[in-house]
Chain A
Amino acid sequence: MSSGTKAPGLWPGCADNRRLIMVMTKDRRTYFVFLLGLLGCTGSIAPDSRDGAGNVAGNSNTAGTGGNGTGSGGATASICKTSITPGPSPLRRLTRWEYNNTVADLLGDVTHPADQFVPEAVQLGFDNNADGATLSAVLISQQEDAAGRLASVAVAKLSTLLACDSAARGEEVCATEFIARFGRRALRHTLSAAERDRFEAFYKQERASGTYSETIEQIVRAMLLSPYFLYRPEFGGTAPDAKTARPLSDHELASRLSYLFWGSMPDDVLQDAADAHQLSTPQQIRFQAERLLSHARGQNSIKNFYSQWASLSQLSSTTRDRIYTPQIAALQQQETEAFVDEIIRKGDGRWSTMLTAPLSFQNDTLSAFYGLPGGNKALTQVALDPRRHSGLLTQGSLMTLLAHPGQTSPVLRGKFLLERVLCLPPPPPPNDVDLTVPAPDPNVSPRQQLEQKTQTVSQCKGCHAIINPPGFAFDHFDAMGRWRDAEENKLAIDASGELLGTDVDGPFSDHVDLARLLAESKTSRECVVTEWFRYAYGRDHGDIDTCTVDELHASFEASKGDIRQLLLDLAETEAFRYLSALEVSP
């Protein structure tokens, strides 16, 4: 956790009535006021505080700047202009996904060896958070095993790995060349003379007792176990102002860029740029960032981000009706991944479009599953009925994941929307309430059933008055993401409701109308920035990041919520380009 005042609890006081609540979005120091008392839910809604570090609600003495999007007070703006405050730069370990991508690029190995590793702990919704990169002896052992296997497979095709004719040029010459070239790629920096010397000495020692091939294998194995491979250690370059920050070295920046956009190692172009010190200015960085994002691999991180954002990987283990086959689960995941890539990289990139675009990607199998007309053998972009489908939130994948076996879950859907679209996560339910999902009642609609349960229990009604309505909005989608006109018991669906506790409060008629509201929400756009900040930097933002976050918010607003622009901006901030001097131990 990076910063923020520890909240005494999220949405506290849900049992009380009629209290005026001040809510502060901790990243912008912006306050807005809303009246929850009228709705039966009292207390404050703290912006996303899953980490437990949200700000305390009700601090009416704290000044805010209102809703201009920049959120910076005069003093803060002044500080931003005069000092570099990159914030913490925690040591990042390759996630399992990044490890798999990296060995695929480095060795051509697509067996996903890291899938067998101890999983990272998901923090703040993402598996690449530095706090979640806990270590264990088991993991080290798994990494060692994987390094051994990968190296063994790699040298089986020695001529591919090592394009040097040892018979003509001599083994030692080839080995020396290999250490420099492969080391540069595997360890993601140009090896120093001392590093090369150590590996060359290692080569000589190993060669004394092994064959040439075995010795190269040992080098590969050692490099795959090197902290430079498994982690992204950063030491910074020369410091213009060592008291506050040091710029990252070119190769450290190259790694940050490639792992941000590709989730993998830098390519030769990026490493060449690093060697030529062509990652020194924001313009040079942006040039490379645009290249990486435009590249086919640019879809990697976008897909990974939204896959984690929506927990798409859980689709494969989701139990539904018999017709919900593993193939359908996989297709739904691909559908959503293709959708986000289409909007962000090929479309206008706007968050509002993500929330409203009536399009998707289906093949005949998936279309048939949804009951829609087909005609596409391969996954193809299809236009959907704008009266029924509205962007990301009506994707079959999300609707399936936010449901229970055999029945939908307005609570899960409402909670997700508050948590991941607005960064206003509800608190967990009290310990002493019955959380059993009631069996469907043929005589009442599920909505009525849920309202009856949550409104009659005093501990529930306050928060559920906020959670339930946006969840009801999606009742036209069944537990597998298919459209339905009526409930399973043939009763009519009421998808209307009122959005509460946000900056776009108001009534909506259905999910399409709700999406329209959300598309206008500044809070939602700020949430996008918060989520991408966490993903890009592997940490949460705190007070020290005020300048960075304000800058990102302002730019995101100016771009009308263009996520593509946000990604490029994330690679230009001081938090991305600098290492805090305070972080460096003597």
Chain B
Amino acid sequence: MIKASRRQLIQQMGAWPLLWPLLREGRAEAQSKPKRAIVIYSPNGPIMDLGPAIGTETNFKLHEWWSPLERHRDVGNFFVGLHQAGVPFGEHNEYGHQSGGTGALTARTTEKTNNSTGPSLDQFIGQALQKANMSTPKRSLLWGLHNNAGNWGPWYESAGKPIAPEMDPFKALAAIAPNLRGDAVSIVDKKLTRKHFVLDKIYKDCKGLTSGLGAEGKALLDYHCNSIESLEKSVASALATQASQTVNCSTPAKPNTALTAASNFSAADNRDESMKAFTRLISLVFTCDISRVVGVSFGDTASRFAIPASYKVPSADKVDSGDSGPQHHAWTHTYNSGADKRLALKTFYTWYSEQVAKLLDELKKTLDADGKPLMDSTLVFWTSELGHRPGNNSLEPHPNDNIPVMLFGNSGGAFKTNRMFTATGNNEQRALVLHQMMVSVIQHTGLPNINEFGNKGTGPLAWLRG
């Protein structure tokens, strides 16, 4: 451990930009300031008659569903009328979740297949950075709140290789802990973390075992499982206390890693806490330069994503997919109950927007090693697999059209922000914008020579700079 001497060194030097080489173990070479990207995916689409904004390029208004993002207009670009990037080349509008999920982040035509033919944007960037000798301890990180564990994407390591996000913030933290150094190393007791993981696994296995037993046996095993859960909670609480000790990876940036000790991060009622924890972890990995790319998945394609009951999402009737209840996917398949559907989807989208807004809050308030906000060096790209079809039935589900897309961040001043982009033309023309935007995100991370992503070489979206 060299934390004391390093801290003294930092205090004496006082010149933060010069410290980049010291901020990570094993990286002796000086590098330019890191550029980061956050790729956010929310499932199922909004299914409504409006995009996230309405108006003109510079005089626009955010739709109320996205109202929490109003406070981040200054760093935002809001896109309406975009078509799924991978799809337009085949005009496959109606394949919904499948083609939307496999293509949403890969920009590849996949039609009805369940596997993409290439990596998702986050993975592509991580791999490209590594190839360009700009790798970080973690090439990329993928975290999420819900996963159906299906194979419709949207996250792919490479062709035919879907990957699932880590949904437990404690595990996410443990995975990066070996890459923290100095004071940060001590934030989590590794033994305790591992104990937590085992208890977490056993609790989940345990609960699935009780059915089929006699009543007394079930009661006994229930007690056992609940005791495991209690133990897990107490360990989680201890871990949270430890993690709340300030990480001192690159003072003055002091990311708050205080994770709330939610016992089960996969439970819908804990989603606020999960996202809060992941938000803090993102600022940690950026300030400590553990990774420059993070994927955030609210749910995978066709996710039966639900949010805490306190938000009072109405319950959907059983739909053709078999889903029902207060979850996003069921509501996208509901053809009737227009008012309820609007209320449900509004609640979901307001919630997603609030979470993204909080992430942007964190990026704005967390200072990088050069004393500037992380937001300055970070692009936040948010998309979904589905959109809506204006002019037709506004409640019609599943078109890969009019996808709500937002891009936050000015890439160190290179991009203009606080604008609205309205795509026009045929499907291919409107998809081209999305395709180009992804290339812009790639180039922003320090890969200016990459002009091709997905199934088409498009170059960047010039509008962002002009």
Contact = CB atoms under 8 A, between A and B. Distances in A.
B228 interface: yes
Given A202-B201, A205-B197, A585 B230 contact: no
Interface in B210-230: 211-218, 220-221, 223-225, 227-228, 230
Contact of A233 (B194, B201, B213, B231): B213
Nearest to B230: A137
Interface residues of A, number: 39
B166 interface: yes
Interface in A94-142: 130, 133, 135-137, 140-141
A225 B203 CA distance: 10
Most buried by B among A205, A226, A234, A583: A205
Nearest to B176: A209
Interface in A205-230: 205-206, 208-210, 214, 218, 221-222, 225-228, 230
A584 interface: yes
A233 B177 contact: no
Contacts of B221: 91, 227, 231, 233
Interface in B160-197: 166, 171, 174-178, 193-195, 197
Given A140-B228, A222-B202, A233-B209, A91 B216 contact: yes
A148 B190 CA distance: 13
Given A209-B174, A235-B213, A144 B199 contact: yes
Contacts of B220: 91, 93, 133, 135, 231
Given A210-B194, A227-B224, A585 B231 contact: no
A304 B280 CA distance: 56
A88 interface: yes
Interface string A149-178: 000000000000000000000000000000
Contacts of A214: 194
Contacts of B227: 135-137, 140
Contact of B216 (A90, A93, A148): A90
A233 B206 CA distance: 11
B213 A91 contact: yes
A148 B202 CA distance: 13
Interface residues of B, number: 35
A299 interface: no
A313 B193 CA distance: 40
A205 B166 contact: yes
A258 interface: no
B198 interface: yes
Nearest to A220: B198
B25 interface: no
A137 B175 contact: no
A235 B174 CA distance: 37
Contacts of A205: 166, 171, 197
B205 interface: yes
A218 B214 contact: no
Contacts of B211: 585
Q: Is the interface of B mostly helix, strand, loop or mixed?
A: helix
A141 B228 CA distance: 8
Contacts of A228: 209
Given A135-B224, A218-B198, A209 B214 contact: no
Contacts of A580: 214
B144 to A, nearest CB: 13
B201 A222 contact: yes
Contact of A88 (B194, B214, B230): B214
A89 interface: yes
A198 interface: yes
B198 A221 contact: yes
B205 A584 contact: no
B231 A137 contact: yes
A140 B231 contact: yes
A93 B231 CA distance: 19
A235 B171 contact: no
Interface string A227-253: 110110111000000000000000000
A209 B201 contact: no
Interface of B: 166, 171, 174-178, 193-195, 197-199, 201-202, 205-206, 209, 211-218, 220-221, 223-225, 227-228, 230-231
6 contacts: A90-B214, A91-B217, A91-B221, A137-B231, A228-B209, A233-B221
Closest 8 CB pairs of A and B: A91-B217, A583-B214, A140-B227, A209-B175, A209-B174, A235-B212, A225-B202, A208-B175
